[in-house]
A and B are shown apart, each in its own frame.
Chain A
């Protein structure tokens, strides 16, 4: 399982990287962590002509914890997030989800931006970005642009990236006070691709849900923003003793709306059912944590 040949570049500046990528058009791939790309190359599922290794671009290896937002550069590894107290305290959903990405050796190398750019339907980061109302910062030869998370993910393993473009950073706004977060996923084994999962936040004020955000993982087309479920919960009175009905309603909205895929691990009917279960569990977790504020 040796990859097909390619031209390899390891530029030291973003400008150079974008130039090479631009010239390569559809034949160029960005190599960041390589934890998704290299398996595909080794299996010869992909044979790009040009590999642009961005690991030497220091400017991309930055993570900024600011008052209002967290900015994660393209070279920030999953492990990097897990070792940061600021992230743990300020973006608990992101922290919880990152803990469940694969295994230590993968987390040491794989990048958050890479996971988002790859958009595997079972991945954690795309859904977390959507739930947290994140922004994707894109750079190309023509310059920079930014997209809200939901507009970035366009389908299975597909994003709004044009040939010659790459993700250079992600921005996560800080959640309003009173927000609790819950991330759950269910995989056959810990670290496997999730068969289903949910990333939820509930912003509570005086026992009423001011804002609900819910994205479902693993349904087949990428992160699924469960708007109908969010509507059911918004402006609803919720307490840990009295939330079952509301959460069941939300779950029902989810199972009615998702169109999950079939594969060797689970059928679409199982995934649909699981989406409902994950919804309820994520919401329960989020509510409990909102109460902890």
Chain B
């Protein structure tokens, strides 16, 4: 019965080896087995975006990936955004300074998605930012402060001519 498997993966730069039920989602693995509870579950069907993490360099819905599928993968979660010396990632700092969060539940997904956006499009327009974040639901902020946080990071980063 293939209902449990051993997986080996890297999360936030640290290697892990664990035996997991095959039906366990990556989100639940990160949260329950690795005790990294910064990634949140808002819907478990891929719509709200709160569970978004980075897998092998790309943003994914961790609620729609089985932990066993992450064998061999490199995962980055919100806890892994800090620098080694504990300094916050510029995006985290910007969210803090621009009040880009209220209850904080959507924040993990917003950060991962926003960081990916700026990697692909370092000088986005406001419309670009809103479109990139349109798959991350926030119920508290009305998005404006989140958009301003992302634009603040873009503006602070040395310009790349579009």
Which residues of A are at the interface with B, using a C-beta cutoff of 8 A? 1-10, 31, 34-35, 38-39, 42-43, 51, 53, 55, 79, 102-106, 108-109, 189-191
Contacts and interface: CB of A to CB of B under 8 A. Distances in A.
Given A42-B44, A42-B45, A191-B134, A105 B61 contact: yes
A19 to B, nearest CB: 14
Interface of B is mostly: mixed
A104 B52 CA distance: 10
Given A53-B69, A103-B135, A2 B23 contact: yes
A108 B23 contact: no
A8 B45 contact: no
Interface string B42-54: 0011100100100
A79 B46 CA distance: 17
Given A35-B46, A106-B135, A42 B68 contact: no
B99 to A, nearest CB: 24
B3 A7 contact: yes
Given A55-B69, A103-B49, A105-B49, 17 more contacts: A2-B23, A3-B23, A5-B23, A8-B22, A35-B46, A38-B63, A38-B65, A39-B64, A42-B63, A53-B68, A104-B113, A104-B116, A104-B117, A104-B132, A105-B61, A106-B135, A191-B135
A102 B58 CA distance: 16
Given A35-B61, A35-B64, A105-B52, A189 B134 contact: yes
Contact of A38 (B28, B64, B131, B134): B64
Contacts of A39: 44-46, 64
Contacts of B131: 190
Nearest to B132: A104
B59 A10 contact: no
B3 A5 contact: yes
Contact of B45 (A2, A31, A43, A105): A43
23 contacts: A4-B23, A5-B3, A5-B23, A6-B22, A8-B2, A8-B5, A8-B23, A31-B69, A34-B65, A38-B25, A38-B45, A38-B46, A38-B64, A39-B44, A39-B46, A53-B68, A106-B46, A106-B135, A108-B58, A109-B58, A109-B65, A190-B131, A190-B134
